[in-house]
């Protein structure tokens, strides 16, 4: 099937004009943007509703001086916050959990207005911070408690591992999951006793600002969680120079810039970056599950999930069967702008991003790829709509073959052996997520263990790994450094003080003892201590 014969991706939009959700009032958005640290000396950013392109609010932009003020205010509030008992800090998040869940629909409205994603994805995003709160509410107290260890000399010495907050953590977030990255990544930092300064993407600042308002309703001290706004390269240097740690989510290119500056400043950072994630379908996979999985993997969040799938590998014997079912299911998708749960797929985030996605498709087609369905912008649906697109015969030199397109575009490939499938899955600079499908779970897990990727989902695309908050989740290779979730997702926001105590000075030669005798005694006690410890 060619682009000319491909069916339209969705029915046309209904005739009723789209109305912004009634909950997203002018009063609300004006109140939210007043939280941005800004003296209003810079021209504001016109934040728009993605589905219509209509102006929503002028977002203040932060100068270097505004950024310094934000860090100073967060630092002042952090001293009192860190001095509180951990249980008192956690009580704020216990209350916040309920507030977040009770307000999930308003959060979802804001996310949809600013990002254009469909409502099913937006409400799932609204659930991420409560899930992170739940997890760390059960873990944080134990993780932050001082841990006493034995010292080098039994009985008379000890060493205590004390977790000290870093100070003020800078969180930089992308537009694709603004609420989840802006708020969820700040939660363990705050629980650990830090202040936070967030720099959201200009396009999607409203939902994280709303998240901070909800945290303050739960009792988070005002001033502890600050927001600065601006274009990344303008804000970045001053922001990083004032942070004690940087939590960054975004593209690999920006991650490198941020990592370099953090390195020069000798501060730590966690970099959660891009992916070019493979989905490998094994011979025994159940297509009744694989096809809906593939639809979500390629087109969920309009293909704008860091862990989504842009490369699908099928056994040659089942390639045609999968292709035909996948194309048919894609053509049945309801792609549309709506603030209800009916559409399957929403908009891309902006016309600028649409141009990038279109350029990747055009480049692949010019180099020999075949469009099985989709491939076109849909201005009739909204300014940034693009059809769910399936390609085959994508040549290795196409941009889409190796670089993240970050849109609803996927390429299909056939493989002849498992070794070939594994080599193809690993033939990438990235290592964020992989998805493996098969009914023999042992075989699927054995295959998955061979993939060089921080996350591997068996019989799922990404949610099983991402929602497992007890396990660290991060990228390897060019997909990042460090991880969120799990114990390290909180401990990374702390320094360790090793408080070592010697009750009596027993190290070194006793008065009158020769050096030879002392060394002999020390070496034999080394053997004794190993025997005691190993036992």
Residue closer to ligand NAD (CB basis): 195 or 480 = 480
Q: Are 324 and 291 in contact (CB under 8 A)?
A: no
Strand 433-437 versus strand 455-458 pairing type: parallel
Site mask for ligand NAD (CB under 6 A), range 400-419, x = bound: ----x-x-------------
Q: Are 60 and 229 in contact (CB under 8 A)?
A: yes
174 is a contact residue toward ligand NAD (CB under 6 A): yes
> CA angle, corner 274, sides to 269 and 278, nearest 5?
135
Exactly one of 130, 211, 236, 315 binds ligand NAD (CB under 6 A); which one? 236
| Rounded alpha-carbon distances, angstroms, from residue 357 to 105, 223, 299, 351, 382 | 30, 39, 13, 10, 16
319 is a contact residue toward ligand NAD (CB under 6 A): no
Distance, in Å, from the CA atom of 50 to the CA atom of 44, rounded to the nearest integer, reads 18
> In the bound complex, what is the minimum distance in angstroms from residue 355's beta carbon to ligand NAD?
13
Exactly one of 238, 254, 350, 455 binds ligand NAD (CB under 6 A); which one? 254
> In the bound complex, what is the minimum distance in angstroms from residue 105's beta carbon to ligand NAD?
23
Exactly one of 176, 428, 453, 494 binds ligand NAD (CB under 6 A); which one? 176
Interaxial angle between packed helices 104-115 and 86-102, expressed in degrees from 0 to 180 and rounded to the nearest 10: 70
Structure tokens at 264: 């020069």
> In the bound complex, what is the minimum distance in angstroms from residue 177's beta carbon to ligand NAD?
6
Exactly one of 249, 347, 350, 428 binds ligand NAD (CB under 6 A); which one? 249
Residue 401: name the closest of 355, 372, 376, 367 by CA: 367
| Per rule CB under 6 A, count of chain residues that contact ligand NAD | 27
Choose the catalytic residue: 49, 272, 387, 392: 272
116 is a contact residue toward ligand NAD (CB under 6 A): no
Residue 239: name the closest of 65, 78, 40 by CA: 65
85 is a contact residue toward ligand NAD (CB under 6 A): no
272 part of the active site: yes
> In the bound complex, what is the minimum distance in angstroms from residue 493's beta carbon to ligand NAD?
17
Site for ligand NAD in 258-297 (CB under 6 A): 258, 272-275
Exactly one of 16, 26, 83, 233 binds ligand NAD (CB under 6 A); which one? 233
> In the bound complex, what is the minimum distance in angstroms from residue 37's beta carbon to ligand NAD?
15
Site mask for ligand NAD (CB under 6 A), range 350-389, x = bound: ----------------------------------------
Structure tokens at 521: 């005694």
Site for ligand NAD in 477-516 (CB under 6 A): 480
Specify the DSSP class assigned to residue 58: E
Residue closer to ligand NAD (CB basis): 115 or 330 = 115
126 is a contact residue toward ligand NAD (CB under 6 A): no
Residue closer to ligand NAD (CB basis): 177 or 322 = 177
Q: What is the 3-state secondary structure (H, E, C) of 270-293?
A: EEECCCCEEEEECCCCCHHHHHHH
Residue closer to ligand NAD (CB basis): 60 or 275 = 275
> In the bound complex, what is the minimum distance in angstroms from residue 455's beta carbon to ligand NAD?
9
Q: Are 346 and 378 in contact (CB under 8 A)?
A: no
Distance, in Å, from the CA atom of 222 to the CA atom of 216, rounded to the nearest integer, reads 7
Which helix (H) or strand (E) covers residue 79, if one does?
helix 64-83
47 is a contact residue toward ligand NAD (CB under 6 A): no
Residue closer to ligand NAD (CB basis): 25 or 352 = 352
331 is a contact residue toward ligand NAD (CB under 6 A): no
Q: Are 348 and 384 in contact (CB under 8 A)?
A: yes
Residue closer to ligand NAD (CB basis): 227 or 444 = 227
Site mask for ligand NAD (CB under 6 A), range 213-232, x = bound: -------------------x
> In the bound complex, what is the minimum distance in angstroms from residue 453's beta carbon to ligand NAD?
12
Structure tokens at 131: 């899930």
128 is a contact residue toward ligand NAD (CB under 6 A): no
Range list of H helices, 127-231: 128-144, 178-179, 186-191, 206-217
Q: How crowded is the C-beta side of 231, counted as CA atoms within 13 Å?
A: 7
Buried b (16+ CB within 10 A) or exposed e, 56-73: bbebbbbbbebbbbbbeb
45 is a contact residue toward ligand NAD (CB under 6 A): no
Residues with Cβ < 8 Å from 147, sequence gap 6 or more? Answer: 160, 161
Contacts with ligand NAD by CB under 6 A lie at: 172-177, 199, 201, 232-233, 236, 249-251, 254, 257-258, 272-275, 306, 404, 406, 432, 475, 480
Residues serving a catalytic function are: 272
């Amino acid at each position: 099937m060619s682009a000319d014969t491909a069916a339209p991706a969705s029915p046309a939009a209904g005739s009723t004009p789209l109305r912004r959700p009634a909950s997203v009032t002018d009063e609300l958005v004006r109140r939210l943007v007043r939280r941005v640290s800004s003296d209003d000396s810079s021209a504001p950013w016109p934040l728009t509703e993605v589905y219509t392109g209509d102006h929503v609010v002028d977002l203040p932009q932060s100068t270097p001086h505004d950024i310094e003020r934000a860090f100073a205010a967060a630092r002042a509030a952090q001293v009192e916050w860190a001095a509180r008992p951990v249980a008192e800090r956690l009580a704020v998040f216990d209350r916040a959990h309920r507030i977040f869940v009770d307000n999930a629909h308003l959060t979802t409205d804001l996310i949809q207005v600013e990002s254009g994603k469909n409502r099913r994805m937006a409400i799932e995003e609204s659930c991420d911070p409560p899930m992170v709160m739940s997890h760390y509410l059960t873990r944080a107290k134990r993780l932050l408690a001082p841990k006493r260890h034995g010292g080098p000399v039994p009985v008379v010495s000890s060493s205590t591992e004390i977790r000290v907050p870093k100070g003020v953590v800078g969180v930089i977030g992308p537009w694709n999951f603004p609420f989840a990255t802006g708020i969820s990544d700040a939660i363990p930092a705050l629980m650990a006793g830090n202040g936070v300064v967030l720099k959201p993407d200009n396009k999607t600042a409203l939902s994280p600002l709303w998240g901070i308002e909800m945290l303050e309703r739960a009792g988070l001290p005002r001033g502890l969680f600050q927001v600065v706004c601006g274009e990344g390269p303008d804000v970045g240097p001053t922001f990083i120079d004032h942070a004690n740690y940087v939590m960054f989510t975004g593209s690999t290119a920006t991650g490198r810039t941020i990592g370099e500056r953090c390195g020069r400043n000798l501060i730590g950072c966690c970099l959660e970056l891009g992916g070019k994630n493979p989905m490998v379908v094994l011979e025994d996979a159940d297509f009744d599950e694989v096809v809906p999985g593939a639809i979500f993997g390629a087109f969920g969040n309009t293909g704008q999930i860091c862990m989504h799938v842009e490369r699908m590998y099928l056994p040659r014997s089942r390639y045609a069967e999968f292709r035909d079912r996948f194309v048919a299911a894609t053509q049945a998708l309801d792609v549309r702008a709506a603030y209800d749960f009916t559409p399957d797929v929403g908009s891309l985030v902006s016309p600028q991003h649409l141009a990038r996605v279109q350029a990747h498709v055009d480049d692949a087609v010019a180099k020999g790829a075949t469009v099985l369905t989709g491939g076109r912008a849909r201005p009739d649906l909204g300014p940034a709509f693009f059809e769910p697109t399936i390609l085959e015969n994508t040549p290795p030199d196409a941009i889409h073959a190796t670089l993240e397109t970050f849109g609803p575009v996927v390429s299909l490939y056939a493989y002849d052996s498992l070794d070939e499938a594994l080599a193809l899955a690993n033939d990438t600079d990235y290592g964020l997520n992989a998805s493996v499908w098969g009914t023999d779970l042992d075989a699927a897990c054995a295959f998955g263990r061979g993939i060089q990727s921080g996350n591997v989902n068996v019989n799922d695309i990404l949610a099983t790994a991402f929602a497992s908050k007890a396990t660290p989740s991060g990228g390897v290779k060019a997909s990042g450094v460090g991880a969120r979730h799990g114990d390290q997702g909180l401990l990374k926001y702390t320094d360790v003080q090793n408080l070592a105590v010697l009750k009596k000075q027993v190290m070194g030669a006793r008065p009158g003892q020769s050096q030879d005798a002392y060394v002999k005694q020390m070496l034999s006690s080394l053997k004794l201590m190993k025997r005691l410890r190993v036992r």
